[in-house]
C-alpha cells in the first residue's frame, strides 16, 4: 500500500519496519477524538479560506461516516497505514476525493496526536472521577450502616486502640476524595489545545486557534509550538495521580484480604465476588482485592514508563512519544475496572461485629484510656503511662484482661483508681472519649459521615 509520505522514498518500507513502527494496533482507540479534531481543524481552514464551504461540508460528512463505520466495527485497519491519523485521512480520500487532500494543510501528526491524546484524557478524567464518586458512595453506605461496630485500630499491625468501623471506612473515603481532587486539579493542564503548532514551528496559515479551541471545548491554547508537540507532562501527572489512587485501592485490598482470612475473620465476601480453588474445595478466595493489589504494580510501572520515555528527549517531537499511549490506555482501563469491581464487592460485603469486638477486647486496646483516666486524676501523663505499663505487665502475668482485674488489684498500683475505671477502659468508654474533630467518638463520626456525604 502506498504511504501518505511515500514521495521522497524510492523503496518500500521493510515488512519488519512496518510492524515495528505501527501504532494502529492500539491508537485506533483515539478515532473519535481524531475525527473531532479534524472536523474542528477543517473549520479553521474554512475560516482561513483554505477550504470552500463545499469542501468543508464534504470533509465533515466524510469524517462522520468514517466515525460511524469504526464505531460499528465496519472499518478495516491495516498496519501498512501506520496509525489512526493516516487511516482516517486515507479513508477520507477514498470516500470524498480531492477535498480530503487539503485537510492536512497547516497541521502535522505531531500537533494532531497531542490534541487527540488530550481530548481522550479529558473524557477519561470525567469518567474516572465519576467512577470514584460511585465507589465513595458505596464505601459511605457501608459506613453509615455500621455506625456502632467497634474494631481494634492497629499500628505495626498490633492492636492499638479501638475505633469505629465507620471511622475506619471514612479514612479510605478521605484518600479517594483526595484522588478525585487530584484528577480535577490536573484537568486544567490537560485542557490545553496544541493544534496550530503543526510539526514544531507553528502553522504557516492564518488559522484562528482560539476559534478551533472553542469548537473542541479546550479552555486555552498552547503558548509555544515546540513545547506543545513534545509536552507529555500531563500524562506524567495523570499516571502519577492514577498510581496514588491505585496505591489506596491496594492498601484497602490488603486490609480486605487480611479481614477475610480465618485469622481475622472480620468479613464475609459475597460468593458472587469471590472465586474458588481448582484443588482445595473449601476455598473461597479474595481474588478481586488480590488482583487489585497486583494490578497496582502495572499502574506504578506505567508511571515509571512515561517518566523514562520522556527523560532524555530533545525538543521537539520524537517518535519515542508514540510509546506514551499503551501505558495510558492500560492505566485508564485498569483503574476503571478496579473501581468498578471493588464497588460491587463493597456493596455486598458482610461485616462480623462480634468478631471485631472480640478482637478489640484483646491486646489491651484500652491501656491508653487507663493512662488517660489517671491523668484526669492529676497524675502527669508520663507517670500515668508508667503506672499503666506496670498494670499491663501484671495483667499479662495473671493471664487477665484489663477489665478482669479487681478494684483492690488496681488500687495496689494507684490509690487514685476508683470504681469508674471500668467504664473508662470499656471499648464504648474509650470510643466515647475521642470527642475531638476528626476523632472516632460516635458523635464525631456521625458528623464526619454527614460532611463526607456532602463532599461526595
Ligand atoms: N503515531 C504517532 C504517535 O503516536 C503520531 C505522530 C507521528 N509523527 C511523526 N512525525 N512520525 O506519536
3-state class (DSSP) for residue 259: helix
Catalytic residue among 10, 156, 272, 278: 156
Q: Whose CA is nearest to atom 7 of ligand 1?
A: 109
Residue 2 predicted with pLDDT over 80: no
Q: What's the CATH number of domain 110-150+163-205+215-358, 1.20.200.10, 3.30.1330.10, 3.90.1310.10, 2.160.20.10?
A: 1.20.200.10
Contact 159, 152 (CB under 8 A): yes
In this structure, what is the dihedral angle of CA atoms 100, 101, 103, 107, given to the nearest 10 degrees?
150
| pTM of the predicted model over 0.85 | yes
Q: What is the pLDDT of residues 346-401, one digit of tens each?
A: 999 999 999 999 999 998 999 999 999 999 999 999 999 999 999 999 999 999 99
Give the Cα separation of 119 and 240 in Å (integer): 19
Q: Is 240 a catalytic residue?
A: no
For the chain, state the CA radius of gyration: 31
Picking from 355, 376, 428, 369, the residue whose alpha carbon sits closest to that of residue 163 is: 428
Residue 276 predicted with pLDDT over 90: no
Give the Cα separation of 343 and 348 in Å (integer): 9
pLDDT of residue 310: 98
Q: What is the pLDDT of residues 299-331, one digit of tens each?
A: 999 999 999 999 999 999 999 999 999 999 999
Cell of 2: 502506498
203 Cα: distance to centroid of ligand 1 (angstroms): 17
CA 27 to ligand 1: nearest atom: 4
User: Per-residue confidence at 10, pLDDT binned at 50, 70, 90?
Assistant: confident
User: Per-residue confidence at 61, pLDDT binned at 50, 70, 90?
Assistant: very high
In the CATH hierarchy, which top-level class contains the domain 14-105? mainly alpha
Contact 151, 349 (CB under 8 A): no
pLDDT of residue 122: 98
Give the Cα separation of 253 and 101 in Å (integer): 53
Contact 365, 159 (CB under 8 A): yes
Rounded to an integer, the average pLDDT of 257-270 is 96
pLDDT of residue 304: 98
Contact 324, 236 (CB under 8 A): no
CA 82 to ligand 1: nearest atom: 1
Contact 223, 189 (CB under 8 A): no
108 Cα: distance to centroid of ligand 1 (angstroms): 9
Give the Cα separation of 151 and 352 in Å (integer): 10
The set of residues, in sequence order, having a beta carbon less than 8 Å from that of 393 and lying 6+ positions away, is none
Give the Cα separation of 135 and 148 in Å (integer): 22
Q: For ligand 1, pick from 22, 83, 323, 328 the residue to mutate: most ligand atoms within 8 Å of CB.
A: 83
Give the Cα separation of 347 and 139 in Å (integer): 8
Cell of 172: 479510605
Q: Is 37 exposed, middle or buried (CB count within 10 Å of its CB: 0-12, 13-18, 19+)?
A: buried
Count CB atoms within 10 A of the CB of residue 114: 27
**Residues flanking ligand 1, CB < 6 Å:** 23, 27, 83, 109-110, 113, 319, 321-322
User: Per-residue confidence at 1, pLDDT binned at 50, 70, 90?
Assistant: low
322 Cα: distance to centroid of ligand 1 (angstroms): 6
Rounded to an integer, the average pLDDT of 102-130 is 98
Give the Cα separation of 198 and 219 in Å (integer): 19
Residue-averaged pLDDT of the chain: 97
Q: What is the pLDDT of residues 193-245, one digit of tens each?
A: 999 999 999 999 999 999 999 999 999 999 999 999 999 999 999 999 999 99
332 Cα: distance to centroid of ligand 1 (angstroms): 21
pLDDT of residue 434: 97
Q: Is 87 a catalytic residue?
A: no
Catalytic residue among 6, 25, 188, 277: 277
User: Per-residue confidence at 11, pLDDT binned at 50, 70, 90?
Assistant: confident
Domain regions of the chain by residue span: 14-105, 110-150+163-205+215-358, 359-455
CA 325 to ligand 1: nearest atom: 4
Give the Cα separation of 338 and 439 in Å (integer): 30
Picking from 137, 327, 168, 308, the residue whose alpha carbon sits closest to that of residue 246 is: 327
Q: For ligand 1, pick from 309, 319, 323, 325 the residue to mutate: most ligand atoms within 8 Å of CB.
A: 319
Count CB atoms within 10 A of the CB of residue 21: 13
Could you name the CATH architecture of 359-455?
Orthogonal Bundle (1.10)
29 Cα: distance to centroid of ligand 1 (angstroms): 15
CA 199 to ligand 1: nearest atom: 10
Amino acid at each position: 500500500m502506498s504511504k501518505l509520505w511515500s514521495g521522497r522514498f524510492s523503496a518500500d518500507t521493510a515488512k519488519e519496519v512496518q510492524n515495528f513502527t505501527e501504532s494502529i494496533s492500539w491508537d485506533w482507540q483515539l478515532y473519535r477524538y481524531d475525527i473531532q479534531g479534524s472536523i474542528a481543524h477543517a473549520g479553521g481552514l474554512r475560516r482561513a479560506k483554505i477550504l470552500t464551504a463545499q469542501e468543508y461540508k464534504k470533509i465533515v460528512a466524510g469524517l462522520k461516516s468514517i466515525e460511524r463505520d469504526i464505531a460499528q466495527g465496519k472499518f478495516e485497519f491495516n498496519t501498512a497505514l501506520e496509525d489512526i491519523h493516516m487511516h482516517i485521512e486515507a479513508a477520507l480520500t477514498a470516500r470524498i476525493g480531492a477535498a480530503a487532500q487539503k485537510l492536512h494543510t497547516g497541521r502535522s501528526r505531531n500537533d494532531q496526536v497531542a490534541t487527540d491524546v488530550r481530548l481522550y484524557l479529558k473524557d477519561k478524567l470525567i469518567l474516572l472521577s465519576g467512577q470514584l464518586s460511585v465507589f465513595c458512595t458505596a464505601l459511605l453506605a457501608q459506613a453509615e450502616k455500621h455506625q456502632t461496630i467497634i474494631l481494634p485500630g492497629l499500628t505495626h499491625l498490633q492492636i492499638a486502640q479501638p475505633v469505629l468501623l465507620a471511622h475506619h471506612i471514612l479514612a479510605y473515603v478521605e484518600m479517594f476524595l483526595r484522588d478525585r481532587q487530584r484528577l480535577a486539579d490536573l484537568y486544567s493542564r490537560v485542557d490545553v489545545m496544541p493544534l496550530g503548532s503543526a510539526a514544531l514551528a507553528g502553522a504557516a496559515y492564518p488559522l484562528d486557534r482560539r476559534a478551533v479551541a472553542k469548537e473542541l471545548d479546550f479552555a486555552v491554547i498552547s503558548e509555544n509550538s515546540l513545547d506543545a508537540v513534545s509536552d507529555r507532562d500531563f500524562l506524567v501527572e495523570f499516571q502519577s495521580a492514577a498510581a496514588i489512587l491505585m496505591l489506596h485501592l491496594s492498601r484497602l485490598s490488603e486490609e480486605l484480604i487480611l479481614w477475610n482470612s480465618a485469622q481475622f475473620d472480620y468479613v464475609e465476601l459475597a460468593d458472587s465476588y469471590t472465586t474458588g480453588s481448582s484443588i482445595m474445595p473449601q476455598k473461597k478466595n479474595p481474588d478481586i482485592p488480590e488482583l487489585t493489589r497486583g494490578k497496582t504494580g502495572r499502574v506504578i510501572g506505567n508511571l515509571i514508563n512515561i517518566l523514562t520515555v520522556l527523560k532524555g528527549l530533545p525538543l521537539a517531537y520524537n517518535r519515542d512519544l508514540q510509546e506514551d499511549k499503551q501505558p495510558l490506555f492500560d492505566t485508564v482501563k485498569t483503574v476503571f475496572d478496579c473501581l468498578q469491581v471493588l464497588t460491587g464487592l463493597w456493596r455486598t460485603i458482610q461485616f462480623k461485629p462480634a468478631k471485631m469486638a472480640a478482637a478489640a477486647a484483646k491486646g489491651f486496646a484500652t491501656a491508653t484510656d487507663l493512662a488517660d483516666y489517671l491523668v484526669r486524676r492529676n497524675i502527669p501523663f508520663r507517670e500515668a503511662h508508667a503506672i499503666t505499663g506496670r498494670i499491663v505487665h501484671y495483667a499479662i502475668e495473671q493471664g487477665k484482661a484489663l477489665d478482669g482485674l479487681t478494684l483492690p488489684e488496681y488500687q495496689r498500683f494507684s490509690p487514685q483508681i476508683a470504681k469508674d475505671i471500668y467504664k473508662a477502659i470499656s471499648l464504648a468508654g474509650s470510643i466515647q472519649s475521642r470527642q475531638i474533630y476528626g476523632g472516632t467518638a460516635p458523635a464525631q463520626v456521625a458528623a464526619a459521615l454527614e460532611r463526607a456525604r456532602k463532599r461526595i
